[in-house]
Amino acid sequence: MTALLELDGLGFAWPGQPELLDIPHFRLQRGETLFLKGPSGSGKTTLLGLLGGVQKPQRGSIRLLGEDIAQLSSARRDHFRVDHTGYIFQQFNLLPFLSVRENVELPCHFSRSRARRAGERHGSVDQAAAVLLGHLGLGDAALLERRADSLSIGQQQRVAAARALIGQPELVIADEPTSALDADAREAFLQLLFAECREAGASLLFVSHDQSLAPLFDRSLSLADLNRAATAPGI
Ligand SMILES: Nc1ncnc2c1ncn2[C@@H]1O[C@H](COP(=O)(O)OP(=O)(O)OP(=O)(O)O)[C@@H](O)[C@H]1O
Ligand SMILES: [Mg+2]
């Protein structure tokens, strides 16, 4: 297997704070699904933000599809991220004033390759959004046109999931994506997530406190096993 994502000598600290992450090496294979765990505050979301190109490390390289995203300008990094990464943020990051449909379709506006793949698979971007939302129990036509901030938290989390999956990105990053879902919605979401990743040959990086999910993944890791800064005082 070849690596989709490969990280070397990564160091990261938030401004004015001691180093949070010191990770000599980490790799995620193409098509691999990985469950990442660790205590609250240990740096899981921070690591995902670095791998997804949201933040930049102070040192080290993060190669996604061979491109070192740590070296890209922030504009190029943003573009590269939308093309290749579907990101379910812990806080969802939906645009509140846009409709559900517009939120889900957003990556296709910024990325031609995501729009093309969504069109090839489902006929159109609109249709792709409707199908994904339908699988997540949000198929109601009127709901699609509602403002995102008029939805319940669990509904918003599913909108964020559909937005990450549209257009089949090579890497799906999911930060506590089931935290607001009931058992039925969680089951439907996990089925869709694995099916979409398999179909796209995508790799999945999944963070959760819910240990019962770990056996569903190819590999399970504790952040502390990767991170040499994990023994620092206060963590
Ligand atoms: N935007 C930020 N600015 C400054 N410090 C931050 C920021 N985001 C996180 N931190 C700090 O980095 C550390 C790790 O936070 P992070 O959100 O990565 O943890 P986590 O493992 O995802 O926790 P949780 O399981 O609660 O989501 C914490 O000490 C936090 O205060
Ligand atoms: Mg977090």
CATH code given to domain 3-226: 3.40.50.300
Tokens of 209: 């406190």
Q: Which is nearest to 47 in space by CA: 170, 234, 233, 173?
A: 173
160-179 CB burial, b ≥16 within 10 A, e <16: bbbbbbbbbbbbbbbbbbbe
Q: Which is nearest to 167 in space by CA: 115, 98, 111?
A: 115
Distance 148 CA to ligand 1 centre (A): 25
- Segments making up each domain of the chain, as ranges: 3-226
Assess contact for 220 and 210: CB atoms under 8 A.
no
Best mutation site among 21, 46, 211 for ligand 1, i.e. most ligand atoms within 8 A of its Cβ?
A: 46
**Atom number in ligand 1 closest to CA 47:** 18
Best mutation site among 12, 21, 44, 55 for ligand 1, i.e. most ligand atoms within 8 A of its Cβ?
A: 44
Is the shortest distance between the CB of 178 and ligand 1 below 6 Å? no
The average pLDDT across 111-138 equals: 96
Task: Tell me the percentage of the chain whose pLDDT exceeds 90.
Answer: 89
| Predicted confidence band of residue 231 (pLDDT cuts 50, 70, 90) | low
Say if residue 233's pLDDT is above 80.
no
Mean of the per-residue pLDDT values of the chain: 93
Q: Which is nearest to 51 in space by CA: 41, 63, 42?
A: 63
pTM: 0.94
